[in-house]
Every structure is written in C-alpha cells, then in structure tokens.
C-alpha cells in the first residue's frame, strides 16, 4: 500500500471514529458514522486509482526490461567474450601488424619465430666474450630479399691490431648487431622488421628510426641478460621513447611457446625526416673538396655536417649534405626535458656521419667518391660505425671535436695503424 494511503487509513480514520464516539446527538452519531464509511470508500478508491496508475506506467517498463534490455545486455557481453577468446587465439597463432603501404596484414607467427631463430643461431659467433648480441633484418613486403643476420662484431680491418676488449676513444670496437644487419641488408630498409636477441640501446633505436625500421621483435630471454640489468632505465626512458616517437612497434617473442607479446603497438610510422638533409647537383669538374669549402664558408664553424658524392639508383650523380639531427618524432622540447641518459653514455641527436651512412643505405645510393667530408672530427662511435659500412676515407674541414672529445684520439690511433685515411681541407 502507498505510504500516503496507509497514513490516511491508519491515522485519519481512527481519529474520525474517535470523534464520532464523542458526539451525544444520535443524528450527529449517524452523520459521523456515515462520514467514516464514506471516507473509507474514498481511501479504497484512491488506492485503486494509484494501482491503476502504477500498472499503467510501470508494466510496459517491466516488459521492456525483461524482454528487450536484459537479453540485449547478456548477448553483448557474450559477444565480447567470444571476440576476446578469438583475439587470444589469433595472438598465439598469428601476429597482426601494419605494413608499410598502410594495408593491415596478417604475418604468420612462424615467420617471426623463424627469423628470431636465425638471430639466435648466430649469436654465439660473436667474438665479444661478455656480451653477445645478434639481429636479423627482413622485409615482409619484399620476400624476394633474403633476410640478413649479424652479430655485434668488430669490423674486419680491426682484427689483429687490437685486443678484443680494447677501446677506441669512448667507444668499443664493436658495431652493434642491429647496425651491422642494417648495413648489409640488400632489401628496402624502410618498412623492414628486425629481430634481436637483446633489448636495443638508445643508439640503435636512433639508427633503426633513421633507417625506417617498422617493427622490432626482442627475444624474451634478452630481458634476463646483461644489457637490461645494466641499462634497464635507459632502455625504458630513451630507447622506448625513440621507438614511440618514430612509430616503431616493439614486441617480445617467446620461441618455445610461439607467442608474440606487444610491448609497444603503433598504428602509424614517422618517416625519417627529410629536414637537415640537402641534395645538390654535381657540376662538371666539381670536387668534394670544392663542395666542402663552399659549405664551410656558408655554414661557418658552428654546424656539424657530413657530405659525400653518391650515385642514385638510376645512375644520376648527386651530392648529399647531412646535418646532425634529432631522431624522427623527437622534438627539441623532448631533448631539453630529457637531455642525455643518466650515465651520460647516450644522447638524442644522431651524429651526421652515421646519419649519412644510413641515409645512403636507405635510399639505395652507391658511392661515387669513396671519401666522406666532415665539418669536425667524428665521434669514436661514428668512426667504428663507418668501418662497419666499409668506409675508411675522410676529409676534415676542421679538427674541432664533434660532441665526443675522444674522437680525435680514436681517429689518430686508427690513422696510425693505417686503418683509415685522413685528409685536411686546404
């Protein structure tokens, strides 16, 4: 019963009966009794009207909830469960990725595991005695190009000259596995995929972003190895930030369980920036020294750059001028906020020499002149990378150091061993 009707029935009616019992006049008593009877009928009628209204408004709502709303909700939840189960199965059997041409494709997990196994198969061939890393580069968009596996290794010219653990300035003698694989892959680098046995360092992240690598797969055992133990913070704060900004997807591969677990999934890739790169025509009789003199006069001594004469895939000779630049997607604000790594070992800008080497490889150029001109003394790491790309002849516009003050010592040591040739710009 409605609260208002109950109040009238339980409170007002006894009160009326009480007053009816106090009257002395018989006519008055009859009138009071008649009033009580009439009032009771009124209350019963009010309750009836309330129930009618209640049924009129709430019965359709009850029918809607029972027949339409709740079955719809249950069906939706069941559909979500089915989709989730299907997605889990697909993740175990397949790996979904976005190909370079923007078409959403389905890569067989067998291909990814096989390429990771290619890297694992060669990792023990690295002569580094404390840190062995291997990488394999492949491009699903061009399966005609054979995948290339490589390990962190010393350029061949260094063998027999230095102990395996000797340093060249602030750098080791070893070209990282990721860079070595990129240097020798004959297929298109843009849109390529790379499997690596260990989490990649910030320098390799920059090089992969500049090369246009689309996806990186890391073996799950790599997260238990030496690099992540020593440099886990730099992997999280720098390597993954560079990958995120460049649009590189990162996944963990478990070969035994045949699973690919997303760490960072990207739907769009940031292309290597065309800024800070200039192309120029090579006039008849122009020399690399003459071009360098022009750039030195135009740019002064503040800019760091590297230049070379190359040949385009169609045979057209072309001059290439490359400046130091931040990795694709990294802004000056990111650089100011993050600076260098906690250890000071890594920095965000990509040096012009390494950037030029990767640009030549990415664009399919060949060397018209085997020499590379640089505005300053390259860093020791850039010199090692150049040897990994089979480049060993340089022209210096200045003996001022790049960001690495030990580059001059590394260059002098290599020149003394006749492993590189240095010319000074007249």
Domain contains 410: yes
Per-residue model confidence (pLDDT) at position 233: 78
CA atoms of 170 and 338, how far apart (whole Å): 22
Per-residue model confidence (pLDDT) at position 158: 95
CA atoms of 151 and 125, how far apart (whole Å): 7
CA atoms of 168 and 172, how far apart (whole Å): 6
Picking from 31-40, 77-86, 147-156, 360-369, which range would have the lowest pLDDT averaged per residue? 31-40
CA atoms of 141 and 215, how far apart (whole Å): 13
Per-residue model confidence (pLDDT) at position 249: 94
Enter the tokens of residue 62.
Answer: 């009850």
Classify each residue of 246-276 as buried b or exposed e, where b means 16 or more C-beta atoms within 10 Å of its C-beta: bbbbbbbbeeeeebbeeeeebeebbebbeeb
Is the same domain home to 252 and 288? no
Arithmetic mean of pLDDT, 351-370: 96
Q: Tell me: the pLDDT tens digits for 135-177?
A: 999 998 888 899 999 999 999 999 999 999 999 999 999 999 9
CA atoms of 305 and 190, how far apart (whole Å): 23
Task: Report whether pLDDT(95) > 50.
Answer: no
| CATH number for 213 | 3.40.140.10
Is the same domain home to 404 and 299? yes
What backbone torsions phi and psi does residue 64 show, to the nearest 5 degrees?
Answer: -60, -45
CA atoms of 290 and 165, how far apart (whole Å): 40
pLDDT band at 62, cuts 50/70/90? low
390 contacts 371 by C-beta, under 8 angstroms? no
Enter the tokens of residue 133.
Answer: 């890393």
Percent of the chain with pLDDT over 90: 58
Query: Which residues, including other chains, have CB under 8 Å from residue 101's CB and lie 6 or more apart?
Result: 141, 191
Which among 213, 202, 297, 188 has a CA at the least distance from the CA of 242?
A: 202
Is the same domain home to 221 and 166? yes
Domain contains 88: no
Q: List beta partners, residue 261.
A: 252
Alpha helices, H only, 247-331: 288-299
Domain contains 158: yes
Is the same domain home to 292 and 199? no
pLDDT band at 301, cuts 50/70/90? confident
CB atoms within 10 A of CB 92: 13
Is the same domain home to 296 and 250? no
Q: Tell me: the pLDDT tens digits for 317-354?
A: 999 999 999 998 888 887 777 666 666 778 899 999 99
Could you tell me which residue, 13 or 296, shows the higher pLDDT? 296
| CATH number for 319 | 3.40.140
Helix (H) or strand (E) holding 80: helix 70-93
Picking from 15-19, 230-234, 313-317, 368-372, which range would have the lowest pLDDT averaged per residue? 15-19
Please tell me whether residue 224 adopts helix, strand or coil conformation: helix
Is the same domain home to 316 and 371? yes
Could you tell me which residue, 58 or 354, shows the higher pLDDT? 354
pLDDT band at 7, cuts 50/70/90? very low
Residue after which a domain boundary falls, among 222, 237, 264:
264
Indicate the average pLDDT of the chain: 82
Task: Report whether pLDDT(70) > 80.
Answer: no
What are the Cα distances from residue 217, in Å, to 258, 332, 341, 400, 402?
13, 28, 23, 39, 33
Is the same domain home to 159 and 70? no
CA atoms of 212 and 324, how far apart (whole Å): 17
Is the same domain home to 258 and 299? no
Number of compact structural domains in the chain: 3
Say which residue the tokens 């390529």 belong to. Answer: 192
Is the same domain home to 256 and 285? no
Is the same domain home to 60 and 125? no
Domain contains 91: no
CA atoms of 387 and 421, how far apart (whole Å): 12
Per-residue model confidence (pLDDT) at position 108: 76
Task: Report whether pLDDT(109) > 60.
Answer: yes
Q: What angle do CA 381, 386, 392 make, to 5 degrees?
A: 125
Is the same domain home to 155 and 53? no
CA atoms of 309 and 364, how far apart (whole Å): 14
Residue after which a domain boundary falls, among 74, 89, 121:
74
Enter the tokens of residue 368.
Answer: 């018209």
Domain contains 176: yes
What backbone torsions phi and psi does residue 145 show, to the nearest 5 degrees?
Answer: -85, 125
349 contacts 326 by C-beta, under 8 angstroms? yes
Enter the tokens of residue 238.
Answer: 């720098």
Arithmetic mean of pLDDT, 229-239: 78
Per-residue model confidence (pLDDT) at position 18: 43
Picking from 61-65, 97-101, 178-182, 307-311, which range would have the lowest pLDDT averaged per residue? 97-101
Per-residue model confidence (pLDDT) at position 77: 85
Is the same domain home to 252 and 281? no
396 contacts 412 by C-beta, under 8 angstroms? no
Which among 390, 375, 381 has a CA at the least distance from the CA of 420?
A: 390
Which among 134, 138, 84 has a CA at the least distance from the CA of 112?
A: 138
Could you tell me which residue, 303 or 335, shows the higher pLDDT? 303
Domain contains 48: yes
Q: Tell me: the pLDDT tens digits for 383-421?
A: 999 999 999 999 999 999 988 999 999 999 999 999 999
Q: Tell me: the pLDDT tens digits for 253-298?
A: 999 999 999 999 887 666 666 678 999 999 989 999 999 999 999 9
Domain contains 387: yes
Arithmetic mean of pLDDT, 118-122: 97
CA atoms of 108 and 310, how far apart (whole Å): 38
Burial class, 378, CB count within 10 angstroms (exposed 0-12 / middle 13-18 / buried 19+): buried
Domain contains 257: yes
Helix (H) or strand (E) holding 120: helix 109-122
- Domain of 163, in residue numbers: 99-264
């Amino acid at each position: 019963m409605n609260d208002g009707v109950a109040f009238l029935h339980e409170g007002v009616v006894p009160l009326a009966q009480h007053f009816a019992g106090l009257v002395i006049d018989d006519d008055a008593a009859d009138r009071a009794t008649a009033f009580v009877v009439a009032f009771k009928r009124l209350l019963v009628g009010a309750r009836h009207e309330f129930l009618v209204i209640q049924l009129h408004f709430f019965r359709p709502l009850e029918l809607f909830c029972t027949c339409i709303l709740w079955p719809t909700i249950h069906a939706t939840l069941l559909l979500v469960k089915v989709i989730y189960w299907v997605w889990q199965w697909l993740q175990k059997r397949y790996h979904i990725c976005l190909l370079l041409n923007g078409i959403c494709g389905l890569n067989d997990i067998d291909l990814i595991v096989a390429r990771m196994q290619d890297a694992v198969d060669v990792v023990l061939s690295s002569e580094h005695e404390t840190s062995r890393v291997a990488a394999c580069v492949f491009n699903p968009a061009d399966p005609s190009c054979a995948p290339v596996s490589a390990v962190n290794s010393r350029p061949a010219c260094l063998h027999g000259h230095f102990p395996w653990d000797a340093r060249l300035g602030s750098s080791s003698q070893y070209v990282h596995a990721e860079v070595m694989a990129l240097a020798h892959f004959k297929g298109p680098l843009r849109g390529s995929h790379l499997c690596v046995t260990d989490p990649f360092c910030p320098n390799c992240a920059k090089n992969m972003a500049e090369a246009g690598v689309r996806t990186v797969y890391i073996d799950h055992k790599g997260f238990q190895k030496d690099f992540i133990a020593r440099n886990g913070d730099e992997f999280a704060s720098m390597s993954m930030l560079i990958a995120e900004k460049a649009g590189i997807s990162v996944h963990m591969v478990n070969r035994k369980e045949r699973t690919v677990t997303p760490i960072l999934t990207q739907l769009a890739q940031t292309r290597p920036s065309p800024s800070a790169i200039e192309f120029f025509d090579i006039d008849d009789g122009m020399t690399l020294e003459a071009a360098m003199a022009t750039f030195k006069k135009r740019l002064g001594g503040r800019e760091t750059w590297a230049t070379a004469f190359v040949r385009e895939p169609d045979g057209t000779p072309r001059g290439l001028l490359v400046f130091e630049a931040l990795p694709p997607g990294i802004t000056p604000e990111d650089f100011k906020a993050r600076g260098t790594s906690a250890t000071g070992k890594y920095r965000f800008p990509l040096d012009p020499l390494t950037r030029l080497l990767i640009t030549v490889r990415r664009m399919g150029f060949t060397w018209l002149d085997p020499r590379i001109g640089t505005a300053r003394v390259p860093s020791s790491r850039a010199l090692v990378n150049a040897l990994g790309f089979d480049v060993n002849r340089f022209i210096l516009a200045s003996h001022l150091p790049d960001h690495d003050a030990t580059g001059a010592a590394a260059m002098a040591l290599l020149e003394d061993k006749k492993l590189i040739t240095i010319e000074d710009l007249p």
